[in-house]
Amino acid sequence: MEPVCPLDYRYGRKEMKEELSYHARVRRCLEVEASLARAHAKVGNIPHEDALEITRKATLEHVSISRVEEIESTIKHDIMAIVNALTEQCENDAGRWVHLGATSYDIVDTALALQFRGGIRMIDGQLDRVEKVLSSSSDRYRDLVMVGRTHGQYAIPITLGLKMAVWLAEFHRHRARLEEVKKRVLVGKMSGAVGTGAALGEHAFEIERLVMEDLGLGVEEAATQIVQRDRMTELFSHLCNISVTVEKVATEIRTLQRPEIGELAEPFDERNQVGSSTMSHKRNPMQCENISGLARVVRGFILPAFENGIQWNERDLSNSSSERFIISHMFVLVDEILHKLAWVLEGLVVNEERIADNIRRAGDVIMAESLIMTLVRKGMGRQEAHEITRNAAMRHYAGEDYREVLLSMGEVSSLLSGDELNVALDPASYVGVSAERVNLIRKMIGSP
């Protein structure tokens, strides 16, 4: 069969796709079945030797994917297909204890938590990679003065290091949130068809505890047939939040790569890379644009994720089909865009000459706020200083030289000497505590 989903042939790292694959799903379900058997043996419900036999056979070496699929094609139930395939592999009648007291989603949701753990570990690794490059770059460009922009217009000076430190702090918060969400999402359940644990008997609590301790998971305190979906919704919301930051940074880079700005650019292989099929001169920000497109797909999955929290009574099956798309696609795509952003940042082209040119091109007028604060320190009222500098700016936009306009104004020339005006209009003298802010953020995340 030819692949249809772009994850099969275009997007996603091998490691993450393996963790979220169908094979991994079956393997994790087998791990849970084996853990359940061992828990039953520990409380005396089944013979220890039978639990060991189930454990030995609960691997993909014994339970083949092809056999699971063959059984499912007949009985139309994916978990019972796994149960039956495992049962028939067990010797000495040990298979009779497979899935004892469990319902399908005891196995599915607990297995999902194991997949989440692997996926979260990889996402955190990518966040760590982004943090490291941003920490290094923010330090390197801590004092590189550039034009700040708001509303797409010139604002006042900023440093590139501060811009990067802002991104760094945001990614650091994402790592903290990811650590926090693990406590609520890495949980499983072993409590039966409606959460009562009736089929597990008098040792229901102990069996659930033993299984989750064995697997390194927390316990869903009060389940229906499923782990409650507010947990997954929190995780998926956080993945969407990460995607917003990744796209924000990518958008800033490709905005500043525009030829008329030209301050930053993503890496480009000048020897081999093609920017356009017809316009051979193009150096398009293709990775940053790709990040933006995939980030929007990630966020598109959040609506069905929220809807899946609404179930009929103790559960229905409406969540199952959509989660097969949501879980795999969100993890794979968030991992993908983080990987691509890290690559862009590690090879980021910083054109310091163009940054300096753009400050000069912006002109003295962008230093209006600096001039206001200088006039206030000299005794002028803040509102009066604002109006004087605003009028000077309007005359500048009409064609006059901003500095000459200011010198012609008695209110300004009576308070400031030429040298004092020069200092007030010097971008390098008006970046405030930018350097200290960079140092603070890097210290906060533990950078040397």
Give the domains, in start order, of the chain with CATH numbers: 6-97 (1.10.275.10), 109-357 (1.20.200.10), 363-430 (1.10.40.30)
Exactly one of 151, 280, 414, 417 is catalytic; name it.
151
Nearest-angstrom CA–CA distance, 269 and 38: 55
Q: Is pLDDT above 80 for 243?
A: yes
Check if the beta carbon of residue 276 is closer than 8 Å to that of residue 201. no
Neighbours of 427 (CB within 10 A): 21
Q: Active-site residue among 64, 276, 408, 413?
A: 276
- Is residue 282's pLDDT more than 70? no
Instruction: Tell me the average pLDDT across 64-81.
Output: 96
pLDDT (mean) for 218-228: 95
- Phi (first) and psi of residue 218, to 5 degrees: -80, 175
143 CB-side CA count, 13 A: 2
Q: Which structure tokens are listed for 201?
A: 């008997």
| Confidence label for 276 from pLDDT (cuts 50, 70 and 90) | low
Contact between residue 253 and residue 288 where contact means Cβ atoms under 8 Å apart: yes
Q: Average of pLDDT values for 340-365?
A: 96
C-alpha–C-alpha distance, residues 55 and 49, integer Å: 10
CB 257 within 8 A of CB 285: yes
For residue 344, which amino acid is it? V
Residue-level pLDDT at 3: 86
Predicted local confidence at residue 283, as pLDDT: 77
Asked if 271 and 322 touch (Cβ cutoff 8 Å), the reply is no
Tell me the per-residue pLDDT of 160-188, one tens digit each, with 9 for 90 and over. 999 999 999 999 999 999 999 999 999 99
State the pLDDT at residue 376. 96
Angle, helices 230-256/160-185, rounded to nearest 10 degrees: 170
pLDDT at position 448 is 77
The structure tokens listed for 68 are 């699971």
Among the residue ranges 14-18, 33-37, 270-274, 315-319, the one predicted with the least confidence is 270-274
Mean pLDDT of the chain: 95
Instruction: Give me the count of residues in the chain.
Output: 448
State the pLDDT at residue 325.
92
How far apart (Å, rounded) are the C-alpha atoms in residues 283 and 303?
Answer: 36
Q: What's the mean pLDDT in 339-365?
A: 96
The answer to whether 145 and 359 are in contact (CB under 8 A) is yes
The span from the CA of 195 to the CA of 226, in Å, is 8
Per-residue confidence (pLDDT) for residue 279, from 0 to 100: 72
Residue with tokens 């603070």: 440
What DSSP designation does 278 have?
S
* Whether residue 280 has pLDDT greater than 80: no
Q: Is the pLDDT of residue 270 over 70?
A: no
Q: Which of 60-74, 86-100, 259-273 has the lowest mean pLDDT?
A: 259-273
Q: Report the predicted TM-score, pTM, of the whole model to 2 decimal places.
A: 0.94
- Find the mean pLDDT for residues 419-441: 96
Residue 269 has pLDDT above 80, yes or no: no
Min mean pLDDT across 42-51, 264-273, 347-356 is at 264-273
Spatial contact of 174 and 241, defined as CB atoms under 8 Å apart = yes
Reported as a single tens digit per residue, the pLDDT across 90-102 is 999 999 999 999 9
Q: What is the mean pLDDT of residues 144-166?
A: 97
Q: Are 240 and 326 in contact (CB under 8 A)?
A: no
What's the confidence (pLDDT) of residue 182? 96
- Measure the CA–CA gap between 298 and 12, rounded to whole angstroms: 13
> Would the pLDDT of 257 be above 90?
yes
The DSSP H or E segment spanning 57 is helix 48-57
> Does 151 participate in catalysis according to the annotation?
yes
Average pLDDT over residues 215-232: 95
**265: left (phi > 0), else alpha (psi -120 to 50), else beta?**
beta
Task: Please tell me the predicted confidence (pLDDT) of residue 368.
Answer: 96
What tokens appear for 14 in the block? 């091998």
Q: Check pLDDT > 90 for residue 447.
A: no
When pLDDT is cut at 50, 70 and 90, the band that residue 66 belongs to is very high
| Both structure tokens of 189 | 């359940």
CB 139 within 8 A of CB 442: yes
* Separation of alpha carbons 180 and 327, rounded Å: 19
